[in-house]
Amino acid sequence: MFDYETLRFIWWMLVGALLMGFAITDGMDMGVGSLLPFVARTDTERRIAINTIGPHWDGNQVWFITAGGALFAAWPAVYAAAFSGFYMAMLLVLFALFFRPVGFDYRSKIENPTWRNIWDWGLFAGGAIPALIFGVAFGNLLQGVPFYLDDLLRSHYQGSLLTALLPLLNPFALLAGVISLTMLVVHGAVWLQLRTADPVAARARGIAMGLAPLVTIAFAAAGVWLWFGVEGYRIASAPPHGAFPNPLAKQVVRDAHAWFDIYRRMPIALIAPALGLCGPLATALLAKAGRPGLAFVTSALGMVGVIGSAGLSMFPFVMPSSIDLKSSLTIWDAASSHLTLTVMFWAVVILLPMVLAYTVWCYARMWGKVTAAEIESRSHSAY
């Protein structure tokens, strides 16, 4: 039905959509976890916050697993290179995520303040650390990752395993991490404002109003830094997009403003950074006006804008190399076979509407504000 070139482009869009879906759904859970020790001051209030995400967090995390599976199946070369270059970062994310299922399940097993406080901070770590590291990863992708491909197309990462994490924590990457963390915290705050009553809702409203403008400021600062201080990548020559994938067959150059090429060629792409800048500001105003439902929508649109801006700026690159430019991986030369992409495409066409329908049904069936009276009436519940 689709030729090889078209399928490669479709899967670039689908992987991006999965990442956005993960940010909107599971990012909300991570935002609530990051806020838990601060937005709720009593055990009942913390149980209120937890119960807003308790029925959904594990389903939301499936978006993350699906995005990883799609990356493995659609771009196996990117998957291999990424898990080499970001190995220690991935382990840190994984260990932090361990606190989430264990914290949700164990926190309320014992009615002991110390016990529950420990798990509250565990849930904080399980939300804040992955949110920060995901942004750091994107920041490093925009700067290039120190790997190269040998003649057999095997990826080799420059640096030792023990020191692999420190170079990733460079200033620009940390700024990207701040964008990611604050973006998800704001998203979690408007979710709490929507699903809880005062005083939790009032505190969440204040946090959303205070942090949302910071997302815009940090995003704008990253754009300025990207323009003046980070060299982008541009393909000088390459085989036809429908050719058999061979990353080493192309020529790549670096230029100070290459990451902005797409906005010159296709001005419609400016919609993404516009959403990234305006979405958080609209979220702050709507949260202040007591419209958390609309604030949640604008927060989601802001995340789509931020993630979309990163993807569009890098297009068609997926994982640039900072030490061997021609080893940089793009959507044209890192993809799986035509048959693999075709089979996966039809699996998405059939299964994704079912997943979305079930997700909407779950939220609709368990909708409503979580109140202190409800929590106190079921003291032995799971959360």
In this prediction, residue 47 carries a pLDDT of 87
Burial state string for 83-107 with b = 16 or more CB within 10 A and e = fewer than 16: bbbbebbbebbeebbebbeebbeeb
**Considering the domain boundaries, does residue 276 fall inside one?**
yes
In this prediction, residue 67 carries a pLDDT of 82
Among 28-42, 81-95, 292-306, whose mean pLDDT is lowest? Answer: 81-95
**Considering the domain boundaries, does residue 382 fall inside one?**
no
Take residue 49 and report the two structure tokens written for it: 């916050």
**Considering the domain boundaries, does residue 215 fall inside one?**
yes
Reported as a single tens digit per residue, the pLDDT across 91-132 is: 888 888 888 888 888 888 888 888 888 888 989 999 899 999
Tell me what the mean pLDDT of segment 360-369 comes to: 82
**Considering the domain boundaries, does residue 383 fall inside one?**
no
- CA pair distance 308, 272, nearest whole angstrom: 6
**Considering the domain boundaries, does residue 248 fall inside one?**
yes
Chain CA centroid to CA 161, Å: 24
Largest CA distance in the chain: 67
Burial of 28 (0-12, 13-18, 19+ CB in 10 A): buried
The residue length of the chain stands at 383
- CA pair distance 32, 260, nearest whole angstrom: 34
Burial state string for 159-177 with b = 16 or more CB within 10 A and e = fewer than 16: beeeebbeebeeebbebbb
Reported as a single tens digit per residue, the pLDDT across 56-69 is: 887 788 888 888 88
Residue 205 — very low, low, confident or very high, per pLDDT cuts 50/70/90?
very high
In this prediction, residue 383 carries a pLDDT of 65
Whole-number mean pLDDT of the chain? 87
- CA pair distance 124, 108, nearest whole angstrom: 16
pTM of the predicted structure, to 2 decimals: 0.90
In this prediction, residue 128 carries a pLDDT of 92
Q: 146, 321 in Cβ contact below 8 A? A: yes
Q: 370, 376 in Cβ contact below 8 A? A: no
Instruction: Indicate the pairing of strand 251-255 with strand 232-237.
Output: antiparallel
Reported as a single tens digit per residue, the pLDDT across 303-337 is: 999 999 999 999 999 999 988 899 899 999 888 88
Among 51-60, 229-238, 279-288, 350-359, whose mean pLDDT is lowest? Answer: 51-60
Reported as a single tens digit per residue, the pLDDT across 286-295 is: 999 989 999 9
Reported as a single tens digit per residue, the pLDDT across 121-180 is: 989 999 899 999 999 989 999 998 888 888 888 887 876 655 566 677 889 999 999 999
Reported as a single tens digit per residue, the pLDDT across 222-258 is: 999 999 989 999 998 888 877 788 888 889 999 989 9
Domain housing 274: 4-377
User: CA angle at residue 335 from 333 to 339, to 5 degrees?
Assistant: 130
Residue 273 — very low, low, confident or very high, per pLDDT cuts 50/70/90?
very high
Domain count for the chain, please give it: 1
Cis peptide before 76 (omega within 30 of 0): no
Tell me what the mean pLDDT of segment 47-53 comes to: 86
Among 39-53, 204-218, 260-274, whose mean pLDDT is lowest? Answer: 39-53
Cis peptide before 316 (omega within 30 of 0): yes
Contacts of residue 8, defined as CB under 8 A and 6 or more positions apart, other chains included, come to: 241, 331, 332, 335, 341
